[in-house]
Structure 1
Amino acid sequence: MEPVLPVSIVLGVAGGALSVIVTLGRKFETIDQRQQAHVHLMEKRMDTIELRLAQDYVDKTDLQNILERLDARIDRMDYKLDQILIGYNKMPPPSV
């Protein structure tokens, strides 16, 4: 004669196993939600840093272009001042 497990024990074990699986699933879901929230926060912070870098810093090629234009303007101003001073020195003030 084989031992027969009562149906109540089988249902109890199956229900317990099912509740463990559901509880673990919810726990992992909570952990996953916290992880996703953390990833979202980190992405937001990285976007903020990228935006601040884009606002505060200039690309090297753009800076080179700006410096070349500034140098050209300073050279033109220097030339104009030289022309003014050359024209001014042609008629020195009378000596007293």
Structure 2
Amino acid sequence: MLSNHFNSVSGKRQGQAVTARSIERVVKAAGEKARLPAERCTPHKLRHSHATALMKAGRRLEEVQEILGHESIATTRIYAHLEPERLAAAAASLPDLP
């Protein structure tokens, strides 16, 4: 299982775990710089977007589960939703049955 925290690499808190609040501030500042609406720039949305991108890139559900630190695969399944085009392409790639 992956570590569930990041450590600061500089400043007064060097080597200590980064707080959730400091991550919120960084994500908010990046969103403001990109001129995105504040409600679209949260750590949860970033995490969800990353997990969705991993699934779209073909990563296995178990890999995404481990990256996100979910205990239950059922929690990770919400990221396994497929777009209609991708589902149609997957179905088209299946061999014809006699």
- TM category (shorter chain) comes to under 0.3
Instruction: Indicate the structure (1 or 2) with the bigger Cα radius of gyration.
Output: 1
For normalisation by structure 2, the TM-score amounts to 0.22
For normalisation by structure 1, the TM-score amounts to 0.23
- More contact order relative to length (CA 8 Å, sep ≥ 6): 2
